[in-house]
Amino acid sequence: MDQKAPWLIKEILQARELVMELQTQLNPSSFSGNVLVTKILSIFETSLLVLNQVKMESASTTPNSSLSQFGGSPLSNCGSDFSPDVSRTRKGIVRWTEQVRGCEHTGLEGPLDDGYGWRKYGQKDILGAKYPRAYYKCSYRNSQDCLAMKQVQRSDQNSSMFNVTYIGKHTCIETPELLSGQYTPNKQEQIHGHRQIYQERREDRSLEETYINFQAPTVQVSKAKDKQLESFPSFSIYSTTTSVQQPANIGNGLETRGNHLMISSMKNEMFHSPTSTHISAPTTPGSNHRMHNFGGYHSGGELLQTTADSLEELDQMISSLLAPIATSSANNDHPMDGSPWGWDFPEDYSHSY
């Protein structure tokens, strides 16, 4: 990996440059276009952070306990300073904090959607803090007993930053019905639905353990009972890898989050009607979720508004961006064998996406 990381970093930097160029050419009034570009840049930054982390750990025989592997919200955050302060509660529930930049141009009060569905259940003024702390539970708490929670508080020092504390692990999953496109979530789940990139509710948890260990080698998950309670924000490397390896999954409503191909997938949905000033409402639960995850500033079947011109413009630009990637993948002339990350992932896992 230490040998491949520089190459990957270089590639990502190139892609990032292109997107930045794209950003300069975008119509400034194109709200959704700018948000999309910002998110793409965020994905690149996240990938770079991770690669740097991998590089550093490869170079070190004693990996530090940095927990950036916990990842965070590659899709949604305008930026995330991966400095999670991870600890455990008495019950063994993992808990960590990320600093996330808000996206001022979105007009949101808080950081953008982190890819999960959350329901706010409280807000509290905190002693000595300028801003209140908001409390969120997983949207699937009732339907799937998912115990994940998070707390969001605007930073006192920098009001554009948010401290996001995650508590507990998401145990919610997409049901088989949902995966097959037959599942119809209730309205609440449609609006706040989210996806589990890496989790499988299985008796055999070995794959999950493998993945988690990969993410955070210094925070081993070994107690079965704890697994139900610990949470790791979704992370995009897995889906990146698997979707690259299995392009057939693209567009089938399965996982393609946080990577180029997801962008392609989103693009197909979003630009379904290039002459329309609206984007068609998603027609499948999967796309529903994706829309939600992507947007952050809208929900479920609601519509993004933008101009046809900017959409077409963005469509063309993203297509040109994706072309070399797709070509590289299709021709199998990737400079590296197998996974572009150089890691071998369990076969079963890729089936999940």
Partner DNA sequence: ACCATTTGACCATC
Partner DNA sequence: GATGGTCAAATGGT
| Chain positions contacting DNA, by CB under 7 A | 118-129, 133-135, 137, 139, 149, 151, 186-188, 191-192
CA distance 282 to 298: 13
Q: How far is the CB of 185 from DNA (least distance, A)?
A: 10
- What number of CA atoms fall less than 13 Å from residue 281's CA on the CB side? 9
CB 143 to DNA: min, Å: 10
Q: How far is the CB of 128 from DNA (least distance, A)?
A: 6
Of 126 and 330, which CB lies nearer to DNA in the complex structure? 126
In the bound state with DNA, the residue whose beta carbon lies nearer, of 120 and 223, is: 120
Q: Which is nearer to DNA, 101 or 298 (CB)?
A: 298
CB nearer DNA, residue 141 or residue 260: 141
Which of residues 117 and 233 has its CB atom nearest to DNA in the complex? Answer: 117
Cα separation, 258 vs 244, whole angstroms: 12
Q: Which is nearer to DNA, 134 or 197 (CB)?
A: 134
Break the chain down into helix, strand, coil percent, rounded to 5.
40, 10, 45
CA 274/CA 308 separation, integer angstroms: 6
Spatial distance between the Cα atoms of 284 and 281, rounded to a whole number of angstroms: 9
Residue with tokens 């309205």: 187
CA distance 222 to 225: 9
Shortest approach of DNA to residue 111 CB, angstroms? 13
State how far the Cα of 212 lies from the Cα of 71, in Å rounded to an integer.
11
Closest distance to DNA from the beta carbon of 31 (Å)? 16
Q: How far is the CB of 142 from DNA (least distance, A)?
A: 9
Helix (H) or strand (E) holding 100: strand 94-101
CB of 61 to DNA, least distance (A): 37
10 or 278: CB nearest DNA: 278
39, with CB counted inside 10 A (0-12, 13-18, 19+), is: buried
